[in-house]
Amino acid sequence: MSATPASAASPVPSAPFVPGPGESVVVFLEPDAGPAGPAAGAGSTVGTEPAVVLRVADPRLPALLVTDQGATRGDGVFETMTAVAPAGPDGAAAGHRVRKEDSHLARLASSAEALQIPVPPAEAWRRAAAAGLRAFAQGSPDADAVVKLVATRGPEGAPGGGHYVRGAADVGSDGELAETTEPELLVPPHLTGTYWVLVSPVSAGLAGARERGLRVLLLDRGFDSGAAERAPWLLMGTKSLSYAVNMAALRFAASQGADDVIFTSSDGKVLEGPTSTVLLARRVPRPDGTEGVELVTPLRSAGILAGTSQGTIFAAAAQAGWALGYGPLEPADLFDADAVWLVSSVRLVAPVTHLDGEELPQDAGLTEQLNAFLAEDLAPGDHGPNGTGATPIS
């Protein structure tokens, strides 16, 4: 689906692309069109249903059709994972290790389901990421990597591409168009979208931002905290490609001298950052007189993305005996907390130093502890009892 001028002229590349030091690489997941198909011979077939061929390419070359709805409408989904470079002399053979890969693949599948975009199976994404990382390691063996997975609805007007609405044309198993009104065929298993994995070096500026901490603005997102449940077509809490609003909020913050944003709902609940999850900590007395830590994050049902970093941190914190809380939170809870952070897969755990210009308490020890929890890479547990309440401190 990712037809390029280059591939149209020469469908079978003579040699696979090898990125140089610090360069990125892209791996396209292309539906296997069989021996006569456009991607024939260009990679290995993954899985049986539906079959996907991997094509490793230079991301600087044109790749998307101008009609691709990921580009024309932001109609697609994505995930951003990180991969840790192998350590020590024996590490190279093991290769880069993708952090929280299962969580990211599960979230990609649920975002794609929310948008009704057919996507390759998890195993195909896993192999595509591994192929991209192997290529990346040839140029940058010691560098950590950002691994971005993207799935779009594909080109407008392509067979099976476009909108899966009642009565729309579907592609039959022989590739011919077939008219259907059967609800179960509204989302065909055919891979009519555009799919790729981009592997790039981690941006050098991120560590600095993490160390300095963040000056954050509270900004109204304009929806109340019941909007996600009332209006699922808003796609709140999905990782869709429509991030222009999130980026605009970050630019607004920058214009006010701030580094980042925490969105609030119109009824005053704390939501999330444009690219991160909010965490706060409170030091609380235990029944035995010692001090424990309660870690709290906003309610997901208010329409926020289920953060994989938050899930992993909470799993390790629970094992360490910390209490866990799941909103609802209001701005006063942030001002009253002992520490507040924005967490995400790429930036990791970044302390919030100022909120709307007011200085917040810092706790370097807790920040270090949260980063250590994140590095444990545990599978996330359940997101709280029905998303509410806190586990008592033992």
Binding site for ligand PLP (CB under 6 A): 80, 272, 274-277, 305, 307-309, 343-345
Give the separation between CA 103 and CA 378, rounded to whole angstroms.
10
Q: Minimum distance from CB of 276 to ligand PLP (Å)?
A: 5
Q: Minimum distance from CB of 38 to ligand PLP (Å)?
A: 33
Closest CB to ligand PLP among 118 and 274?
A: 274
Q: Minimum distance from CB of 246 to ligand PLP (Å)?
A: 6
Give the separation between CA 29 and CA 193, rounded to whole angstroms.
10
Closest CB to ligand PLP among 39 and 343?
A: 343
Handedness of CA 172, 177, 181, 184 (dihedral sign): positive
Burial class from Cβ neighbours inside 10 Å (0-12, 13-18, 19+) for residue 324 reads buried
Closest CB to ligand PLP among 67 and 371?
A: 371
Closest CB to ligand PLP among 195 and 341?
A: 341
Q: Minimum distance from CB of 304 to ligand PLP (Å)?
A: 6
User: 329-351 b/e with 16+ CB inside 10 Å = b?
Assistant: bbeebbeebbbbbbbbbbbbbbb
Give the H/E segment covering residue 264: strand 260-264
Q: What angle do CA 244, 245, 248 make, to 5 degrees?
A: 85
Closest CB to ligand PLP among 80 and 110?
A: 80
Q: Minimum distance from CB of 272 to ligand PLP (Å)?
A: 5
Closest CB to ligand PLP among 4 and 276?
A: 276
For residue 345, the 8-state DSSP code is T
Q: Two tokens at 389?
A: 């309440």
Q: In this structure, are residues 316 and 376 in contact, taking their beta carbons and an 8 Å threshold?
A: yes
Closest CB to ligand PLP among 192 and 310?
A: 310
Q: Minimum distance from CB of 184 to ligand PLP (Å)?
A: 31
Q: Two tokens at 390?
A: 């806190």
Closest CB to ligand PLP among 215 and 300?
A: 300
For residue 179, the 8-state DSSP code is E
Q: Minimum distance from CB of 384 to ligand PLP (Å)?
A: 16
What are the start-end ranges of the E strands in 48-168?
52-57, 76-84, 97-98, 145-152
Contact residues for 111 (Cβ-Cβ < 8 A; gap 6+): 77, 79, 238, 239, 240
Q: Minimum distance from CB of 144 to ligand PLP (Å)?
A: 15
